[in-house]
Chain A
Amino acid sequence: MEKVGLNLEATELRLGLPGSADEHDEKLSSCSYSSSSSSSVVIRSNKRSSPEESIDDEEELKSNKRTMISHHNDDQDKNVPPSKAQVVVGWPPIRSYRKNNGVQQQQQEQKKKGEEVYVKVSMAGAPYLRKIDLNFYNTYQQLLLALENMFNCTFGEYSEREGYNGSEFAPTYEDKDGDWMLVGDVPWNMFISSCKRLRIVKESEAKGLGCL
Chain B
Amino acid sequence: MGDSQYSFSLTTFSPSGKLVQIEHALTAVGSGQTSLGIKAANGVIIATEKKLPSILVDETSVQKIQLMTTNIGVVYSGMGPDSRVLVRKSRKQAQQYFRLYKEPIPVTQLVRETAAVMQEFTQSGGVRPFGVSLLVAGYDDNGPQLYQVDPSGSYFSWKASAMGKNVSNAKTFLEKRYTDDMELDDAVHTAILTLKEGFQGQISGKNIEIGIVGADRKFRVLTPAEIDDYLAEVE
| A and B are partners in one complex rather than unrelated chains | no
